[in-house]
Structure 1
Amino acid sequence: MYKIKQHKLKVALCMAVQINFINNKRKRSIWVKKWMEDRNKYGHMPLLKELRQDYPSDFKNYLRMDFDTFNILLELISPIISKQNTKMRESISAEERLAATLRYLATGRSYEDLKFSTGISPSSLCYIIPETCKAIYQVLKETYLKLPKTKDDWCQVASDFKNQWQFINCGGALDGKHIRIVPPPHSGAQYYNYKNFYSIVLLALVNANYEFIYIDVGKNGRHSDGGILEYTEFYDKLTKGQLHLPNNDETEKHLNYVFLGDEAFSLHENFLKPYPQRDLSLENRVFNYRLSRARNVVENTFGLLAARFRVLHTAIHITDPQNITYVVLAICALHNFLIRRTTSYAPLRSFDHEDLATHELQMGEWRNSSTELTSLRTSTQKNVTINAKSNREKYKQYFNLEGKVPWQLDMIKKGKA
Structure 2
Amino acid sequence: MAEQQDPEVPVVPEHDLSEEDMTFVSLLNFTRLNHELFDDILERVAPVIQKQQTNYRHPLSAGLKLAITLRHLATGDNYRPMAYGFRCGISTISELIPEVCTAIVQAYKDEVFNPPTTLKPGDTLPSIGALDRKHIAIKKPANTGKIYHNYKGFFSIPMLALVDAEYKFIWIKLGGIGHMSDSQIFTDSELFE
TM-score interval for Structure 1 and Structure 2 normalised by the shorter chain: 0.5 to 0.7
Which gives a bigger RCO, structure 1 or 2 (Cα 8 Å, sep 6+)? 1
Identify which of 40, 45, 65 aligns with 2:17.
45
Kept in 1, the 8 Å contact 2:160–2:182? The answer is no
**Unaligned segments of structure 1, at least 5 residues:** 1-32, 162-171, 239-417
Q: Deviations over 1:359-399 (max 9, x none)?
A: xxxxxxxxxxxxxxxxxxxxxxxxxxxxxxxxxxxxxxxxx
Correspondence 1:177-326 to 2 at 5 A: 179=135, 183-191=140-148, 200-203=157-160, 213-221=170-178, 231-235=188-192, 238=193
Structure 2: which amino acid aligns with 1:158? Answer: T
| C-alpha displacement of 1:106 | 3.1
Cα distance change of structure 1 residues 91 and 141 upon mapping to structure 2, 3 Å threshold: same
Partner of 1:160: 126
Correspondence 1:363-382 to 2 at 5 A: none
**Unaligned segments of structure 2, at least 5 residues:** 1-9
In the alignment, does 2:68 pair up with 1:100? Answer: yes
Kept in 2, the 8 Å contact 1:174–1:203? The answer is no
Kept in 2, the 8 Å contact 1:98–1:132? The answer is yes
- Backbone CA RMSD of aligned residues: 4.0
Cα distance change of structure 1 residues 191 and 76 upon mapping to structure 2, 3 Å threshold: same
- TM-score, normalised via structure 1 length: 0.35
Higher helix share: 1
Kept in 2, the 8 Å contact 1:39–1:118? The answer is no
Structure 2: which amino acid aligns with 1:160? Answer: P
In the alignment, does 2:150 pair up with 1:148? Answer: no
Cα distance change of structure 1 residues 82 and 149 upon mapping to structure 2, 3 Å threshold: farther
Structure 2: which amino acid aligns with 1:45? Answer: L
| C-alpha displacement of 1:128 | 1.6
| C-alpha displacement of 1:131 | 0.7
| C-alpha displacement of 1:186 | 2.7
Kept in 1, the 8 Å contact 2:73–2:134? The answer is no
The structure with more radius of gyration? 1
Identity of aligned residues (%): 31
Cα distance change of structure 1 residues 177 and 110 upon mapping to structure 2, 3 Å threshold: closer
Report the Cα distance in structure 2 between the residues aligned to 1:190 and 1:132, rounded to whole angstroms. Answer: 26
- TM-score, normalised via structure 2 length: 0.67
| C-alpha displacement of 1:77 | 0.5
Kept in 2, the 8 Å contact 1:97–1:129? The answer is yes
Kept in 2, the 8 Å contact 1:74–1:95? The answer is yes
Partner of 2:93: 125
| C-alpha displacement of 1:224 | 5.6
Partner of 2:31: 63
Cα distance change of structure 1 residues 116 and 142 upon mapping to structure 2, 3 Å threshold: same
